């Protein structure tokens, strides 16, 4: 999924995926999940950041 295997292992993996439908389904599900997660936003909404900053201002400086 992350291209972390050596190229020499790919034929064996491909063969296993072709001959094991359960493994192929699991692999497809993982690849779909990976693509979905990569598309997610990885930062808070501006309103959330503003609330955190507003809350932090209620504490005395240097605390």
Rounded to two decimals, what is the model's pTM? Answer: 0.58
pLDDT (tens digit, 9 = 90+) per residue, 25-60?
999 999 999 999 888 878 888 999 999 999 999 998
What is the model's pLDDT at position 24?
A: 97
What is the model's pLDDT at position 52?
A: 94
Long-range Cβ contact pairs of 27-34 (< 8 A, separation 24 or more) = 27/1, 30/1, 31/1, 34/1
| Band of residue 22 on the pLDDT scale cut at 50, 70, 90 | very high
Give dist(CA 23, CA 20) in Å, integer.
5
What is the model's pLDDT at position 3?
A: 83
- More confident of the two residues 34 and 62: 34
């Amino acid at each position: 999924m992350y291209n972390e295997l050596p190229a020499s292992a790919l034929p064996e993996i491909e063969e296993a995926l072709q001959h094991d439908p359960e493994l192929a389904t699991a692999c497809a599900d993982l690849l779909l999940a990976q693509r979905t997660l990569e598309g997610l936003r990885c930062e808070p909404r501006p309103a959330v950041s503003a609330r955190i900053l507003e809350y932090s201002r209620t504490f005395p400086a240097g605390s």
